[in-house]
Amino acid sequence: MEAIIIENLKDFGEPSEFWQYFYEITRIPRCSTYEDKIREYIKNEAEKLGFQTEVDKIKNLVVRIPSNRDSEGNKLGVVLQSHMDMVCEKNENIQHDFSKDPLKLKTIEIENERWLTAEGTTLGADNGVGIAYQLAIMKKIHDGSLDFDTLNLDLLFTVDEERGLSGASQMDKNLISGKYLLNLDSEEDDRFTIGCAGGRVFKVEVSYERELLSNQNLKAIKISISGLLGGHSGGDINKKRGNALKILTEIIWKINSKFNILVNSLEGGNLTNAIPREAHVIFFIEQSQKNELEAFLNEIIPNIKNLYEGTDSNLVISIDLVRDFTDKTTFSKDFQNILFDLFYLLPNGPISLHPTSEGLVHTSLNFAVVHTLENIIEFKVSTRSLEQYDKDTLFEKLKILLKMSGLDIIIKIVTIYPSWPPNFNSKLTEISKHVYKNLFDKDVIIQAIHAGLECAFYSYYYPDMEMISLGPNVLGGHSPDERLKIKSVAKIWKFLIALLQNLN
């Protein structure tokens, strides 16, 4: 369909302040770690209207809108928060310099709904909508069309959410204060998030000695796993998708226990926050055993594929003879026996489910990466849990498993971050449900998610602060398909104002 590039967002509905700010924001470069210009813009807007601002050491910004009551009156601290950076992704055929070019906005219609999107690039609705809501509220308080006289509002704008939450994790603890925090970084207008998983990613280094192959006539065989969907190691962990490393190590364990093989190398996975889609192993076997091996694999592979029918139907398990393979070194037989026992036993996927919230994973593990190096096998594991206690318990068990293997092992923590433990009955959750129902005559969905959010750090630093995360409908986030449902902006605005009035 034809789309027209638009220069202003004037007929987009209420509040017009939101759309004016949103338009301005799309003209300011703000890829992660390059937030200087957007921070200056917000700071200037606030100071122009007479509000105080503060920037902390990692360059988060806060705008303070104090209650206009005297010091005797009751006041309530509320924080409204968004992140200043955006994911900068573009289609290959598009000329766009994210360090200076304004985004080219257009509207599209899908099933009678109007959406705002950007030509060939991400739109930055994640999290430009949060910034625009905050600035619109600031403007309306300034011109007197909104008045929350008992509220001390802190408008918090963080840096570098998209690359690793470093703005939230390293923020100055004195930057904000309040009883409630509203995070404006969610993307569905009929559900609020009230909790998320924390995580621990660790790397294991297993020392070993390589051996020279004594029988040079053995054949090199490569077994590869491919065609899997993969996905996010938190958000997609409950989808019963195949993990290439788990499938591969299951096969190689079975082969190793039945045939006389010597393994050259094992490789798989890439990122710790992704379910591995590909993996392979190379091993040596007698020519005379090759047919028997193939018959054995033909027997077990259909059983394995059966496990993923419907969730990962394109799984490919291929067996190839590697001709002229020159690296004639291997693991020792004893070492590979123990290593494959360990990998075969290593838990993976959801470990437990939340007791009351249907479909919510409580604790999980992703066997993410394996590399064969000269004298070290390196592997990475990512664990997540809604509760700190469970995250630690899982780690203790994994350490026992590693210790019991008797292998020469060093464990290195890669990252560790707190959870935002969900409280389905917090006061803020109750008020939010009530306000939503009153406005829209419908129940809002209250959810926790199995991935990391900035709120995890706020809940860790300010354990008494109650929080929810909300926002209008955004689809295709982090990709050039990112689009914002125009009507949804007014809905969340209406809710936000009603909630603040209620807290007031």
Footprint of Zn ion (CB under 5 A) = 126-127, 185
437 is written with which tokens? 């129902």
Any residues with CB less than 8 A from the CB of 205 and at least 6 apart, and which?
376, 377, 378, 409, 410, 412
Query: Residue 56 or 185: which CB sits closer to Zn ion?
Result: 185
Catalytic, out of 35, 154, 161, 187: 161
* Distance from C-alpha of 11 to C-alpha of 22, rounded to nearest angstrom: 13
Any residues with CB less than 8 A from the CB of 247 and at least 6 apart, and which?
225, 279, 304, 315, 317
Full strand arrangement of the beta sheet holding 105-110: 5-6, 105-110, 113-118, 483-485, 474-475
Residues in the chain, total: 504
Helix, strand, coil fractions of the chain, as percent rounded to 5? 30, 30, 40
Residue with tokens 């906005």: 105
Q: Is 160 a catalytic residue?
A: no
Number of other CB atoms surrounding residue 298 within 10 Å: 10
Task: Please answer whether residues 30 and 103 qualify as being in contact, where contact means their C-beta atoms are separated by less than 8 angstroms.
Answer: no
How many Cα atoms are found within 13 Å in the side-chain-facing hemisphere of 468?
24
Query: Residue 230 or 452: which CB sits closer to Zn ion?
Result: 452
Query: Residue 126 or 312: which CB sits closer to Zn ion?
Result: 126
Looking only at Cα atoms, what is the longest distance across the chain?
A: 91
Task: Please answer whether residues 378 and 205 qualify as being in contact, where contact means their C-beta atoms are separated by less than 8 angstroms.
Answer: yes
Q: What is the smallest separation between the CB atom of 435 and Zn ion, expressed in angstroms?
A: 23
Q: Kindly give the residue spans of alpha helices, DSSP state H, lying in 373-475.
A: 388-404, 427-440, 455-461
Q: What is the smallest separation between the CB atom of 82 and Zn ion, expressed in angstroms?
A: 8
Catalytic, out of 35, 85, 126, 187: 85
Amino acid at 3: A
Q: What is the smallest separation between the CB atom of 161 and Zn ion, expressed in angstroms?
A: 5
Query: Residue 17 or 185: which CB sits closer to Zn ion?
Result: 185
Per-position DSSP letters for 432-444, written without gaps between them: HHHHHHHHHSSPP
Q: What is the smallest separation between the CB atom of 130 and Zn ion, expressed in angstroms?
A: 8
Q: What is the smallest separation between the CB atom of 185 and Zn ion, expressed in angstroms?
A: 4
Query: Residue 185 or 312: which CB sits closer to Zn ion?
Result: 185
Residue with tokens 């009156």: 73
Query: Residue 56 or 187: which CB sits closer to Zn ion?
Result: 187
Beta-ladder partners of 108: 115
Q: What is the smallest separation between the CB atom of 155 and Zn ion, expressed in angstroms?
A: 16
Q: Is 396 a catalytic residue?
A: no
Q: What is the smallest separation between the CB atom of 118 and Zn ion, expressed in angstroms?
A: 16
* Distance from C-alpha of 63 to C-alpha of 61, rounded to nearest angstrom: 7
* Distance from C-alpha of 266 to C-alpha of 373, rounded to nearest angstrom: 10
214 is written with which tokens? 């004594």
Query: Residue 21 or 343: which CB sits closer to Zn ion?
Result: 21
Q: What is the smallest separation between the CB atom of 134 and Zn ion, expressed in angstroms?
A: 14
495 is written with which tokens? 């809710």
434 is written with which tokens? 């009530």
Query: Residue 20 or 158: which CB sits closer to Zn ion?
Result: 158
Task: Please answer whether residues 490 and 440 qualify as being in contact, where contact means their C-beta atoms are separated by less than 8 angstroms.
Answer: no
Query: Residue 241 or 483: which CB sits closer to Zn ion?
Result: 483
Task: Please answer whether residues 364 and 237 qualify as being in contact, where contact means their C-beta atoms are separated by less than 8 angstroms.
Answer: yes
Q: What is the smallest separation between the CB atom of 168 and Zn ion, expressed in angstroms?
A: 11
Of the candidates 266, 264, 392, the one whose C-alpha atom is nearest the C-alpha of residue 328 is: 264
Q: Which residues are catalytic?
A: 85, 161
